[in-house]
Structure 1
Amino acid sequence: MKRIILVLWLLASSYPGLQAQRTALRTNLLFWGTTTPNAGVEFSLGRNFTLALDGGYNAWEFSNDMKLNLAFAQPEFRYWFCRRFEGHFIGLHGHYAHFNIGQIDFIPCMKEYVYRGNLYGGGLSYGYHWVLGERWGMEVTVGGGYAQLSYDKYLCRDCGERVGRFKRTYFGPTRAGVSLIYFLR
C-alpha cells in the first residue's frame, strides 16, 4: 500500500503545471469492504475535465482457504457539469485486473472452485462529488460497460486439478464507488 501511495504521489508531483488544489488523493471505501487496499489520484485537466487513476492490490490469505487475490487498475476520464471536483460528472473508464479468486462459501458457483485469469474492458460512469471541507470530499460513482474475462477454472478440493480454460464477455455494472477524497496543497 505504501508503494502505491508513493507512486501516486510521484505522478502527482512530476506532472508539470499541477497546482495543489487541482490534485486529489482518493480511496474507494467499497473496496476496503472486500479487504482490498486501494488508492488513486485525480488530476485536473482544465475547468471541467479530470483524469482519475485508481488501483488496488489484495494479497491476503484467509484461514478458511478462501481466495480473493487480485491486482487492478481503473483509469477514468471525467467531464464535470459545473466545474471540477464539484457536483455531477460523467466518465469514460477502462479497467484491467489479474485475479485468483474462489472457495468463497457464500457464493454457490465459487464454493468449490478457484478462478485464475485476467479481465479488461471499459464503460461509462456517472457520479456526484460532495465538498466536506477545504481539503476533504466524498464521491459516489456507478458505471456500466463491457468486460472480457479470460481464465482457468480449478477444482479446489484437490487444489490444482484444472477443469478448463474459458473466455467470457460481460455487459453490465463495471464500476461502483463510495470514495473519500483528500486534496493536496
Structure 2
Amino acid sequence: MKRFLQLCAVVILLAGGVQRADAQKFAIKTNLLYDATGTVNFGVEMALAPRWTLDMPGNLNDWKMYNGRQWKHFLTQPEARYWFTNRFAGHFVGIHAHYGRYDIGNIDNNINFLGTNFGALKDNRFEGWLLGAGIGYGYAFVLSKHWNLELELGIGYAYMEFDKYAWATNDKLESNAHHNYFGITKLNVGISYLF
C-alpha cells in the first residue's frame, strides 16, 4: 500500500507540473540580458492563430554609463513566430525585423566579429540608425500556468547609417557613413507572464 501511495503522489506531482500554455492569448515579457545591461525593455506577445504569435519588444537605454562610456539606444524588433506544438510552449521559429537609433562611444574593447570592428568604439562616437531582418529559433519552458522562461537566438542582417565623431573633441569625422552587419541579431533569455 505504501508503494502505491508513493506512485500516486509521483503521478499527481508530475501531472501538476505539466502545464498547457496554448489556452493563453497574450503575454508581457522582459529580456533578462537587456535588464543586466541597464536597458529598459518591455515586450508583448499575442496569439494570432493556434500555432502563430506576434512578439513586439522594445528597448530603451537613454543614459551615460560609468567612466564616460555611452551606449544610448532605442530598438524595436517585431517577430512573427511559428510554434511546433502549442503556442507559448516548446520549440518555435521566427522571422523578425528590427529598427533602432543609437549613440554609442568610448567603449574600450578589441572585438572584431564577423567583419565588424567593435574596437572602433574606443576613441569614437557613432550616432545613427539601423534597419534589418533575421530569422530565429527558440524554446519556451513552461514554468507554471502564467510564467514562462524563453530562450532564443536569431541571425540576420542590419544596414547601419551613422555619423562618426572623435570622442575627445566631438569633431565630426564622417557623415552619412554606412555599415552592413551580418551576424547575431537577437539573443533572448526572457521571462514571460501569460494571460
For residues 156 and 40 of structure 1, what CA distance do their matches in structure 2 show? Answer: 33
Counterpart among 161, 169, 175 of residue 171 in structure 2:
161
1:24 aligns with 2:34: no
Counterpart among 43, 46, 50 of residue 47 in structure 1:
50
For residues 56 and 108 of structure 2, what CA distance do their matches in structure 1 show? Answer: 32
1:132 aligns with 2:143: yes
Name the % identity.
Answer: 40
128-137 or 20-29, which deviates more: 20-29
Question: What's the TM-score, normalizing by structure 1?
Answer: 0.85
- Offset at residue 104 of structure 1 (A): 1.0
Instruction: Flag structure 1 segments of 5+ consecutive residues without an equivalent.
Output: 1-19
For residues 76 and 135 of structure 1, what CA distance do their matches in structure 2 show? Answer: 21
**Aligned pairs for 1:11-160 within 5 A:** 21-107=24-110, 108-158=119-169, 160=170
Q: Letter of the aligned partner of 2:135 in structure 1?
A: L
Question: What's the TM-score, normalizing by structure 2?
Answer: 0.81
Q: Name the larger-Rg structure.
A: 2
Aligned residues between the structures: 164
Q: Segments of 4+ in structure 1 off by > 4 A? A: none
Counterpart among 183, 189, 193 of residue 182 in structure 1:
193
Instruction: Flag structure 2 segments of 5+ consecutive residues without an equivalent.
Output: 1-22, 111-118
91-100 or 59-68, which deviates more: 59-68
- Offset at residue 64 of structure 1 (A): 1.5
Q: Letter of the aligned partner of 1:147 in structure 2?
A: A
- Offset at residue 32 of structure 1 (A): 1.3
- Offset at residue 21 of structure 1 (A): 2.3
